[in-house]
Chain A
Amino acid sequence: GEDVEQSLFLSVREGDSSVINCTYTDSSSTYLYWYKQEPGAGLQLLTYIFSNMDMKQDQRLTVLLNKKDKHLSLRIADTQTGDSAIYFCAESIWNTDKLIFGTGTRLQVFP
């Protein structure tokens, strides 16, 4: 089945690290993505990881993938107020054009 779950809310202090978690069910996923949605805007791709990797780092972002447990996480180092947004993980379904999006995690960063 196709089901992607995320916790709904995360609140962190400015300067701390944020970790947003995601679990998925489709074992045929080839790529997994993290998108950011700011208020009143569309989704913007932040980063992605191929399913045969277990880690990818891109500046302040670190993606960890545990394929055995079907668990994906996004760590944001030195979180800033501008990072406040909704974060969606998504999995691509093999041999289709579909992306299945998670339920979204609202990250709130306070001073």
Chain B
Amino acid sequence: DTAVSQTPKYLVTQMGNDKSIKCEQNLGHDTMYWYKQDSKKFLKIMFSYNNKELIINETVPNRFSPKSPDKAHLNLHINSLELGDSAVYFCASSQTSGTHNEQFFGPGTRLTVL
């Protein structure tokens, strides 16, 4: 009965490959997010989707393409992986109600690009 789940938990791949990370939430939330956490633990938002529609795109390279087949899923596809893409990627969801934005986070996917 995990609220926000991500797969895989770990992903090790070579530079130049294409990979996807999947996220699912069973909370019935309308909004989902992808965050990147770097080696210094700094957490930065990448994308936000509300009811399958892109709301936030924070100047992320277009090698990153989020896809939301339905409001319970937000997948992240990354083309032509680079060394600098190594990080922990967190999915989150929220039921935004006005300005209160309590976000629920997944366990993270640790991506290592060799």
The chain A residues found within 8 Å of chain B, CB to CB, are 30-31, 33, 35, 37, 40-45, 48, 86, 88, 92, 94-101, 103-104, 106
Q: Pick 30 A–B contacts, CB within 8 A, sort by A.
A: A31-B100, A31-B101, A35-B105, A40-B107, A41-B108, A42-B4, A42-B92, A42-B105, A42-B108, A43-B92, A44-B105, A45-B102, A45-B103, A86-B41, A88-B43, A95-B99, A97-B48, A97-B50, A97-B56, A97-B94, A97-B101, A98-B48, A98-B101, A99-B45, A100-B45, A103-B40, A103-B41, A104-B41, A104-B42, A104-B43
Interface residues on B, range: 20 to 34
Interface residues of B in 44-60 (CB under 8 A from A): 44-45, 48, 50, 55-56
Report the bound CA distance from A30 to B96 in whole Å: 13
Report the bound CA distance from A13 to B42 in whole Å: 26
Which residue of chain B has its CB nearest to the CB of A41? B107
| A42–B103 CB distance below 8 A | no
B103 neighbours in A (Cβ, 8 Å): 43, 45, 99
Q: Check if B68 is an interface residue, CB within 8 A of chain A.
A: no
A40 neighbours in B (Cβ, 8 Å): 107-108
Q: A95-B99, A97-B55 are in contact. List 5 more A-B contacts (CB 8 A).
A: A43-B103, A92-B101, A99-B101, A101-B43, A101-B44
